[in-house]
Amino acid sequence: MNSIDWGYVLPIAFMGLMGLAMLAYVVLDGYDLGVGLLLHRATPAQRDTMIASIGPFWDANETWLVLGVGILLIAFPKAHGMVLQALYLPVALMLMGLILRGVAFDFRVKAQDRWQPLWNWAFWAGSGIAASAQGWMLGRYITGFASGWEYTAFAGAIAVLLPAAYVLLGACWLVMKTEGDLQKLAVRWAQLAWAPVVLGMALISLATPWVSETVRDRWFTMPALIALAPIPLATLGALLGVRATLRSPLVLGRLCAVPFFAVVAVFVLGAFGLAYSLWPFVVMDRLTLWQAASAPEALAVIAVGCAITVPTIVGYTIFSYRVFGGKVRPLSYA
């Protein structure tokens, strides 16, 4: 009986875990970044309710980012150095945005009335900086950090698209978590965000094969073209489901959660497509996961730590969403 080749298996396991952590971050922190981007469109009372809807979750959501980056650092150190060298500035901007959000979250309530608009603006600005930086990083990562105006334009397009997608996700979160006038307003916000997001996704999908020969070969050759068709078709179906639900009066009642989970499905399907496009690279066309991985002995030790840490994070996340489920309650710092 052949023994397991841990040098082959462990890098795959850690790549999968890192991918799941980053997907969890994009979805969970994505909706609260979207809420932050919508903050300036609301009245002062509505802003308090919007902040209350993300209050129990937003800080813990960022734990998934720490986990994903931590796995990249310790499990794939060669890729970590290459990625951060190429993305040093947008990473710094993202961290600045997240820090600004964290500071503004507390100060907006405790500051004097004349300073509260400043902290609301800071929360909105921090959300925008973080979301745009993440979009830029994703665009550069997909193209393997290639140089050229077309790759820069591609990254810039995703730097605009991702915040728009976060706005759609955040608006759908508010539809699910709020009631009354704010819920109706959130439905309107989601309706307005839907068309730009769909148009942006279509344009990015058409541009990606143009900027990446690897993606073009994997998606637009037979029989892969037929085998992979369910992913874009399911994505289109989920987006049409979002639009149909948002136009139904039932979205203010028993169907209030449907748009949010349909948009989450779009993100998940996008993650599947990205994973297929990248495999087996950690850095597109430059570094495979086995070339970038730490020694099997080191990965075995890291796996022990992940076996303790990851279930703890998952358990806490599930617990917090169960405890604070349902419609939002007034925000309190007492």
How would you write the pLDDT of the chain (334 residues) with one tens digit per residue?
A: 457 777 888 999 999 999 999 999 999 989 999 999 999 888 888 888 898 888 888 778 888 988 898 888 888 988 888 888 889 999 999 999 999 988 888 787 776 667 778 888 898 999 999 999 999 999 888 888 888 888 889 999 999 999 999 999 999 999 999 998 999 999 999 999 999 999 988 888 888 888 778 777 887 777 877 878 888 899 999 999 999 999 999 999 889 999 999 999 999 998 988 888 888 888 888 888 898 888 888 899 989 988 999 999 999 889 988 888 888 866 555 5
The dihedrals phi and psi of 297, each to the nearest 5 degrees, come to -65, -40
Q: What angle do CA 177, 134, 107 make, to 5 degrees?
A: 55
- Strand, coil or helix: 297: helix
- Whole-number Å distance between alpha carbons of 211 and 38: 32
Q: What are the sequence ranges of the domains in the chain?
A: 8-323
pLDDT of residue 331: 54
- Strand, coil or helix: 282: strand
Beta bridge partners of 281: 288
Q: How much is the CA Rg of the chain, to the nearest whole Å?
A: 21
DSSP 8-state assignment for residue 328:
-
pTM, 2 dp:
0.91
pLDDT of residue 1: 45
* Tokens 């608006």 found at: 171
**What's the token pair of residue 327?**
């419609």
- Whole-number Å distance between alpha carbons of 329 and 324: 9
pLDDT of residue 2: 59
Q: What's the CATH architecture for 8-323?
A: Up-down Bundle (1.20)
Q: Are strands 281-283 and 287-288 parallel, antiparallel or unpaired?
A: antiparallel
Helix 6-38 vs helix 258-278: crossing angle, to nearest 10: 140
pLDDT of residue 182: 93
Residue type, 187: V
**Helices of type H across the chain:** 6-38, 44-54, 58-61, 63-75, 77-86, 88-110, 116-142, 149-177, 180-211, 213-219, 224-227, 230-246, 258-278, 289-292, 296-323
- Whole-number Å distance between alpha carbons of 139 and 145: 9
pLDDT of residue 327: 83
- Whole-number Å distance between alpha carbons of 294 and 74: 7
pLDDT of residue 330: 61
**What's the token pair of residue 253?**
């009642």
